[in-house]
Amino acid sequence: MSDLTAYLKAKQQEINAALERFWDGTEPFPTPLIQAMRYSLEAGGKRLRPVLCLAASEAVGGSDADVMPAACALELIHTYSLIHDDLPAMDDDDLRRGKPTCHKAFDEATAILAGDGLLTAAFEVLASAGRARRSDPLKWLEVSYLIARAAGCTGMVQGQMMDLSVEGKAITLEELETLQQLKTGALIEISVKTGALLGGGNPQEVAALTAYGRHIGLAFQLADDILNVEGKPEIIGKPVGSDQAHQKITGPSLIGLEQAKARARELVDSALEELEVFDMRGQPLAALARYIIERKK
């Protein structure tokens, strides 16, 4: 795809407009809670998960409208996880995307509740879409179930717990990839799978896109850890070298920077192979896979 930047920008605008509509339903409550939720949701994220969801739908011939509520739900969940991960009791981060983290801009109690509110909002959006689109309520239930499994104690939340538990311990590359698959991979994989399912993909298409999602999910975390070593702080919006300072075990720390880069490229190549059956319609997903390891932030 020649112009991923334009594609990303168009999709991000669509997603932001759809996310914006969620606040209509919270109008009677103009409190710090809603402000904190919006602050973090509108802090300039790349919207990678919803974009992947839309692009996967496109690959199987679905429309953006078919899947937009799920795309929004995925971003709501991603944002909640960042707020909670940044808390003092967790990773204790002061900056996120170059801005004060939610508990710094507001306070800890507000940040905990803003995360809770965003997580709950995700399932509100999914259920609301399902009951409005009466044509296929079972698909929305299926997708809600899969997203909950990927986000909760069998997915992302479990991954964050493991990440905290292994601090300072020796682990193998296999254990690290299990942890990262849960912490970051599961939600990225389900973003792609959700798009494929709601976009109307057949079982083979859904399986291929799910495999694509799994590969890029792992590649994404590797790329993040590589940026933490050699990224530019003014571009990524947070300090560089923090993993090393915290003696955090990452791909680069375990197998070295060059090996980690090779592994990320290998994962992206595996992801691209899964797209072969989709012809032109898979091009945005191919460009996104490459972007994941080439991005500077």
Q: Which residues bind its own copies (CB under 8 A)?
A: 25-26, 28-29, 31-34, 37, 80, 84, 87, 89-90, 107-110, 112-113, 115-117, 119-121, 123-124, 126-128, 130-131, 134, 137-138, 140-142, 144-145, 148-149, 151-154, 157-158, 160-162, 164-165
List Cβ neighbours of 108 (8 Å cut-off, separation of 6 or more). 87, 88
Q: How far apart are CA 192 and CA 190, in angstroms?
A: 5
| Residues forming a β-bridge with 95 | 100
Please identify, using beta-carbon distances, which residue of 11 and 84 lies nearer to its own copies: 84
Burial of 276 (0-12, 13-18, 19+ CB in 10 A): exposed
Would you state the structure tokens that stand for residue 292, as one six-digit string?
């994941």
Q: How far is the CB of 99 from its own copies (least distance, A)?
A: 20
Burial of 5 (0-12, 13-18, 19+ CB in 10 A): exposed
Q: How far is the CB of 86 from its own copies (least distance, A)?
A: 11
Q: How far is the CB of 194 from its own copies (least distance, A)?
A: 13
Q: How far is the CB of 163 from its own copies (least distance, A)?
A: 10
Assign residue 47 a region: left if phi > 0, alpha if psi is -120 to 50, beta otherwise? left
Please identify, using beta-carbon distances, which residue of 80 and 291 lies nearer to its own copies: 80
Q: How far is the CB of 141 from its own copies (least distance, A)?
A: 4
Please identify, using beta-carbon distances, which residue of 131 and 232 lies nearer to its own copies: 131
List Cβ neighbours of 164 (8 Å cut-off, separation of 6 or more). 90
| Residues forming a β-bridge with 99 | 96
CB atoms within 10 A of CB 259: 13
Q: How far is the CB of 143 from its own copies (least distance, A)?
A: 8
List the alpha helices (DSSP H) in the chain.
4-22, 32-41, 48-59, 64-86, 102-105, 108-132, 137-151, 156-165, 173-180, 186-198, 203-230, 233-236, 242-245, 251-255, 257-274, 283-294
Please identify, using beta-carbon distances, which residue of 142 and 266 lies nearer to its own copies: 142
Please identify, using beta-carbon distances, which residue of 79 and 283 lies nearer to its own copies: 79
Please identify, using beta-carbon distances, which residue of 168 and 258 lies nearer to its own copies: 168
Q: How far is the CB of 270 from its own copies (least distance, A)?
A: 24
Please identify, using beta-carbon distances, which residue of 110 and 283 lies nearer to its own copies: 110
Q: How far is the CB of 249 from its own copies (least distance, A)?
A: 17
CB atoms within 10 A of CB 25: 12
Please identify, using beta-carbon distances, which residue of 58 and 85 lies nearer to its own copies: 85
Would you state the structure tokens that stand for residue 218, as one six-digit string?
């792992």
| Exposure letters 160-177 (e unless 16+ CB within 10 A, then b) | bebbeeeeeeeeeeeebb
